[in-house]
Amino acid sequence: MASHRLVPADDFGAYYNLAKCADYDSLRESKTQPHFQGVTGLRNLGNTCYMNAILQCLCSVSPLVEYFLSGKYITALKKDCSEVTTSFAYLMTDMWLGDSDCVSPEIFLSALGSLYPAFLKKTQQDAQEFLIYVLNELHEALKKHCRKRANEKRTGQSCCRKVPARETSIITRLFEGQLSYSITCLKCETCTHKNEVFTILSLPIPSDYECSLQDCLQCFFQQDTLTWSNQIHCSFCEIKQEAAVRTTISKVPKIIVFHLKRFDIQGTVKRKLWTDIHYPLTNLDLTPYICPVFRKHPMYNLCAVVNHFGDLDGGHYTAFCKNSVTQSWYSFDDTRVSEIPDTSVQTATAYLLFYSCQPFSIPTQKRKSQDSTPDHCKQGIRKWP
């Protein structure tokens, strides 16, 4: 997974102090807390609702939260400390184990903004793009290099062949999938294959009024014909030819994120699609789009939603998240948090959908009496006022 930087990384100079994680042997009982674990609001720091919505969704992904609460991320950071990753871990701890009804993500924003200054301008940003940058930064900091097995031989391309991963992290293990493209020359019928990894699937919206998530999926995975300027070079014909392209999923992620392409920009014309897209809360069936060889995964259940209100030049983001402790849905609107019924999760404002193919359990965490953050991660850090 590549890390895309908007600008070269700034000189961090003095860092903000990452407040030490308190010692918890286990999650406190919810009755001793003013709120349930993992149900914590986030302060808006100036048009940062896009960030708050994404952080709430990531906070609802229990396997990811447990990875950070358990301290497993520290081992991966021994040689290369990441301010973004460390501040993310502390924020997740505050949101799950803290005593406050809401917390400030200012330290995390400062760390990420040091790499991407656009996020410090206090202007509205796209939540989907923000998610990509966060996942990329976490992956880059936590990745491990995997060598190919000695007896693994290179084979010719075949339909739905998987490409061995060279770099893995908690992000790739949870969010990374793979698409396989079958490309057929319409002249000589020669078929070639291409693979591409993804962490988010951007789905077209086939209707201006009303449709279903399955309609969007069918539109994305339908066979496409490449003609005119989109012709491809056929290695057999040795010239550009028209071709048919068929897309399937050859590796399905544990957490699949759908980006509903509501922002339509054609030249100088911009508009937002207000289509009411019906999506299931449980038993989303992706079988028709998975390569037959790899159809071994169960149904997907919705675990989080990012909503967008307003138009392309402004608007507001909120999130709906299912809590693994209470098994209830909650609405997160910056510092405003409220429980909602299942029937309220389906809305016409959905922008990002997070689905999981396995049920979430309550996150557990480390049993250590001292702060185990590596010393080199604390050097040159000034205290937070």
Give the per-residue pLDDT at 187: 75
For residues 356 and 15, what is the distance between their CA atoms, to the nearest angstrom? 35
Please name the residues in contact with 314: beta carbons below 8 A apart, sequence gap of 6 or more. Answer: 124
Q: Is residue 161, in this structure, part of any structural domain at all?
A: no
In the set 21, 49, 303, 377, the catalytic residue is 49
Task: With beta carbons less than 8 A apart as the criterion, state whether 56 and 304 touch.
Answer: yes
Q: Phi/psi of residue 117, each to 5°?
A: -60, -20
pLDDT tens-digit map of 161-177: 444 446 899 999 999 99
Residue 367 has pLDDT above 90, yes or no: no
- Which three-class secondary structure state does DSSP give residue 137? helix
CATH code where residue 106 lies:
3.90.70.10
Residue 192 has pLDDT above 90, yes or no: no
Q: Which residues contact 343 (CB under 8 A, 6 or more apart)?
A: none
- pLDDT averaged over every residue in the chain: 81
User: Averaged over 5-24, what is the pLDDT?
Assistant: 30
Q: Indicate whether 214 belongs to any domain.
A: yes
In a domain, 22, yes or no: no
Q: Which of 7-11, 211-215, 225-229, 314-318 has the highest mean pLDDT?
A: 211-215
> Tell me, what's the pLDDT at 36?
85
> How high is the pLDDT of residue 297?
63
239-289, pLDDT tens digit by residue? 888 888 889 999 999 999 999 999 987 777 888 999 999 999 999 999 999
pLDDT at residue 145 greater than cutoff 80: no
252: three-class secondary structure by DSSP: coil
Residue 34 lies in a domain: no
Higher-confidence residue of 385 and 362: namely 362
Domains held by the chain: number: 1
SS3 at position 110: helix
What is the distance between the alpha carbons of residues 22 and 325, in angstroms, rounded to a whole number? 21
Position 157 confidence tier, pLDDT thresholds 50, 70, 90 = very low
For residues 346 and 9, which has the higher predicted lDDT (pLDDT)?
346
Host domain of residue 344: 41-144+170-356
Whether residue 174 lies inside any domain: the answer is: yes
In the prediction, which pLDDT does 295 show?
65
Single pTM value for the model: 0.82
Inter-CA distances, 159 with 156, 191, 250, Å: 10, 9, 9
pLDDT value of residue 269: 81
C-alpha angle 273-275-281 in degrees, rounded to nearest 5:
125
Give mean pLDDT, residues 5-21: 30
Choice among 29-33, 84-88, 330-334 with the minimum mean pLDDT = 29-33
Report the C-alpha gap between 260 and 30 in whole angstroms.
35
d(CA 202, CA 317): 18
Q: Considering the domain boundaries, does residue 32 fall inside one?
A: no
Mean pLDDT of 46-69: 96
Q: What does the pLDDT look like over 199-212, one tens digit per residue?
A: 999 999 998 899 99
Residue 250 placed within a domain: yes
Residue 57 a catalytic site member: no
List the beta bridge partners of residue 194: 181
Pick the range with the lowest mean pLDDT from 2-6, 45-49, 79-83.
Answer: 2-6
What are residue 206's DSSP bridge partners? none
Judge whether residue 131 has pLDDT over 90. Answer: yes
Neighbours of 258 (CB within 10 A): 23
- Lowest-confidence region among 8-12, 129-133, 228-232: 8-12
Residue in 35, 193, 297, 316 annotated catalytic? 316
Does residue 23 lie within any of the structural domains?
Answer: no
Active site residue 216: no
How many angstroms separate the first and last alpha carbons of the chain? Answer: 36
Residue 2 has, within 13 A of its CA and on its CB side, a CA count of 5
pLDDT at 257: 98
Q: What is the band of 374 on the pLDDT scale with cuts at 50, 70, 90? A: low
